[in-house]
Structure 1
Amino acid sequence: MPAVASGRALILSMLVLIVCDVIGGFVVASGVNTGDEAWGFNAKSTVPLPIGAAQLVLAWLAARNARPPVGLVAAVVLSVFCLISFLSGLFDGDLFHTVASAGLISWAVGWGVLLLLVTAAVGLLASARAAQLYRLR
Structure 2
Amino acid sequence: MKTTTSLVGPVGLLLATDLVAGLLAVASDVNTWGEAWGSKALLAAPLPMIAVQVALTWLAVRRRSRVAAGLLATACLVSVASGFFDGGLGNDELTTGLAAYQVLLLTVTGAVGVLALMRVRELVTQRSVQKPSRDRWASSQSR
- 2:59 maps to 61
Which structure 2 segments of 5+ residues have no match?
A: 128-143
Aligned residues of 2:22 and 2:36 also touching (Cα < 8 A)? yes
Larger RCO: Structure 1 or Structure 2 (Cα < 8 Å, ≥ 6 residues apart)?
Answer: 1
Structure ID, larger Rg: 2
TM-score, normalization by structure 1:
0.85
Aligned pair partner of 1:97 in 87, 91, 103 = 91
Which structure 1 segments of 5+ residues have no match?
A: none
Aligned pair partner of 2:110 in 109, 120, 135 = 120
Alpha-carbon distance, 1:135 to partner: 1.3
Aligned pair partner of 1:110 in 100, 118, 140 = 100
* Identical-residue share of aligned pairs (%): 40
Greater helix share, structure number: 1
Length, aligned pairs only: 126
Root-mean-square deviation (CA, aligned residues, Å) is 1.5
Whichever residue aligns with residue 17 of structure 2, its letter is C
Distance, in Å, in 1 between the alignment partners of 2:26 and 2:111 is 22
Deviations 1:71-92 (Å, cap 9, x if unpaired)? Answer: 1111000000000111111122
